[in-house]
Amino acid sequence: MSQNKNDPKPLPMKAITLTITGVFALVAFGFLILPAFFDSSPVGLLFHKGPAPWALDPEMQAKFQLTETQAKGRYHFLQYCAGCHGPDGRGNGPTSQTLNRRPANFLEPSPSGLKNGLSVQGVVKTLNEGLAGSQMPSFSNLPDDVKQEIAEFVDHLHTHPALY
């Protein structure tokens, strides 16, 4: 069977296969391999060899004795809350200067004027709802476990003020 001049040209299967493989490899590289170099991506964490990003260094861990949940909470607190509340919850973060009401000092035994309070449940409620009429935003978009971790860290701050 020889090719007739009028037959349609056969598809260049080899080139097509190569192109598809190439595109797939590029996408795989983009989505899987590149993020692996960043600890903040789930793929990156899979390959992460050093201490977890939220882990305290051994000296600090010996002092603060945070549970894993609290240590994760601290990591997120520094990320989301410290700007206003300060790294130790003293209410003195850099942004606190611009707020019309300075956030309470969480290290005080019973800071006055709190609506939901500093119990784990109270903080989770505040994170879910924000505080109407104040500049305390709602964090309801955060996953529940992250809110729980943050609340447990705030509880630790509040119940161990001498450490901070």
- 157 touches ligand HEC by CB under 6 A: no
Q: What one-letter code names the amino acid at 101?
A: R
- Binding segment toward ligand HEC, per CB under 6 A, in 11-19, 47-55, 61-69, 99-107: 99-107
d(CA 78, CA 86): 8
Q: What is the dihedral of CA 136, 137, 139, 140, to 10 degrees?
A: 110
Choice from 56, 66, 124, 136 touching ligand HEC (CB under 6 A): 136
Distances (CA, A) of 159 to 49, 57, 64, 91, 154: 33, 22, 12, 16, 9
Cβ–Cβ under 8 Å, residues 67 and 148: no
Nearest to 96 by CA among 86, 109, 108, 106: 86
Residue of 65, 117, 140, 163 interacting with ligand HEC (CB under 6 A) = 117
Residue 138, interface with ligand HEC (CB under 6 A)? no
Report which of 71, 56, 158, 151 is spatially closest to residue 111, judged by C-alpha positions.
158
Residue placing its CB nearer to ligand HEC in the complex, 35 or 88? 88
Among 10, 50, 58, 113, binds ligand HEC (CB under 6 A): 113
Span of 20-28, 45-53, 64-72, 130-138 interacting with ligand HEC by CB under 6 A: 130-138
Give the separation between CA 150 and CA 136, rounded to whole angstroms.
15
75 vs 54: CA distance, rounded Å: 5
Q: Which stretch binds ligand HEC (CB under 6 A): 7-15, 42-50, 53-61, 112-120?
A: 112-120
Residue 81 as a binder of ligand HEC (CB under 6 A): the answer is yes
Distance of closest approach, residue 162 Cβ to ligand HEC, in angstroms: 20
Site of interaction with ligand HEC (CB under 6 A)? 80-81, 83-85, 95, 99, 101, 103, 113-118, 122-123, 126-127, 131, 134-137, 139, 150, 154
